[in-house]
Structure 1
Amino acid sequence: MNTSPTSLSLWLRDNRGFLAFLLAFGLMRTAIADWNPIPSGSMRPTLKEGDMVLVNRVAYDLKVPLTDVSLLQTGAPARGDVVTFSSPRDGTRLIKRIVGLPGDRIALRDGVLWINGQAAQYAPLQRHGELLAPGVVVDAIGTQEQSTPGAAPHAVQWLPQAGASRDWPETLVPEGHYFMLGDNRDNSADSRFIGPVPRRLLIGRAHRVLASLDMLGEDGSRWLPRFERFWQPL
């Protein structure tokens, strides 16, 4: 009777350390930390196409890997957080900013964000050219938005040529849900289109740009590293 180990078992034995590393690495990416590429301009100017963001997957919940099942709530999502989540419409992974918490009343009036009947504050508007695609520059209006008193301001912009409506009727954010907006207000499929996002679909909080490549050739040459964006906090 032949009792010699098979080639597969020998390979597994000889590579068990590497396989254990791959397993641990996979579990880390699906349960603890992750990095996500930015393929679109919906979060411009905060995030640009070609950025790679670092995501803390345990910022809000410790989940069973590869599921939406929460084992433990580790933190509360806050207004202003930039988060990754699964779209409640089709499951697509998105990245947006939380502007509305459970119980908030959210509205947009001529582009101005209103939260619970109070208008956000804005710095003076600045006009600039925005690269929409390689070789395509459009007019943009940028500013700093402070959503509520005491909140940290963040950059937002509008694209006048988009012709998008800048009004949104007052909406009550349901319990256990969050209202998301992209910082590029005229070019973002956010809660105005997909609805408020339930907490169980939140993946994690994006807190830094890990690395960045100039995908559109904004600085003249495509795919060159943008070193000034490396490790930039959000």
Structure 2
Amino acid sequence: WTTALMLLVLAVVVAGFSVAEPMRVASASMSPTYELGDEVLVGKLAQLAGTPQRGDVVVFHEPHTGTLTLNRVAAVGGDELGIEDGLLIVNGEPVNEPYLDLGSVDGAYFGPVHVPAGHVFVLGDARAGSVDSRTFGVVAEDDVVGRVLLRLWPHRSTTQSAARTERPPTRFSPGVARG
């Protein structure tokens, strides 16, 4: 019984991490939505339900380095994207981005860029300091690991203060800072 129970527990853990995985945010590029040190749950089966959509916060393997990174999908295959005086323009239309910290938006100009089919263009919410598709280019949909489903820790809404508190010990191992 002991061996069977241990195998069952191992199977549940392995299956669980193929469906969703906790990860720790390792940069401030998604501030204020997700802060450095936040722990998030990344849904991996979301990729089976369809391609990433504009506005999704995704974890992906960064082109050229393979580093796991967390950013927001700004444009999908077939879209044309540009930034004019800090304002995101997709397919000629300004995009409402209520999640942005306006203090992090510089008056930059970028693009236009055409996103090829099977790729996404990602941006950090902290635009002025984010390393994103403006730096490393578009991301292949096949390199997207999953979508962020929710914040595990700390428990706060994105409108609350980002004041940090000591977090309790966790039962899972989020691995190295993977964002």
| Bigger strand fraction | 1
Shared fold, TM over 0.5: yes
Does structure 1 retain, via aligned residues, the 8 Å contact 2:71–2:124? yes
Sequence identity (%)? 33
1:195 matched residue in structure 2: 137
Q: Does 1:80 align with 2:55?
A: yes
SS of aligned partner of 1:19: helix
Given that 1:182 and 1:189 are in contact with CA atoms closer than 8 Å, whether structure 2 keeps it comes out as yes
Q: Could you give the per-residue CA deviations for residues 130-181 of structure 1, whole angstroms, max 9, x where no partner exists?
A: xxxxxxxxxxxxxxx2xxxxxxxx3112557x9x772212000001000000
Task: Give the ranges of 4+ consecutive aligned residues of structure 1 lying more than 3 Å apart after TM superposition.
Answer: 13-16
Q: Determine if contact 1:103/1:174 at 8 Å carries over to the other structure.
A: yes
User: Which blocks of at least 5 consecutive residues in structure 2 are unaligned?
Assistant: 156-161, 169-179
Are the equivalent residues in 2 in contact too, given 1:158–1:185 (CA < 8 A)?
no
Determine helix, strand or coil for the equivalent of 1:186: helix
1:57-96: per-residue Cα shift (whole Å, max 9, x none)? 11122xxxxxxxxxxxx22321101111111221100111
Kindly report which structure 2 residues correspond to 1:17-166, keeping only aligned pairs within 5 A, or say none. 17-29=5-17, 31-61=18-48, 74-121=49-96, 145=97, 154-157=98-101, 166=108
Higher gyration radius (CA)? 1
Which residue in the other structure is 1:135 paired with? none
Aligned-partner SS, 1:36: strand
Question: What are the Cα deviations for residues 91-129 of structure 1, in whole angstroms up to 9, with x where unaligned?
Answer: 1001110010101001111211011112224xxxxxxxx
Shift of 1:223: 2.4
Change in CA separation of 1:199 and 1:224 when aligned onto 2, cut-off 3 Å: closer
1:170 aligns with one of 109, 112, 116: 112
| Greater length-normalized contact order (CA 8 Å, ≥ 6 residues apart) | 2
**Structure 1 gap ranges (5+):** 1-12, 62-73, 122-144, 146-153, 226-234
| TM-score normalised per structure 1 | 0.63
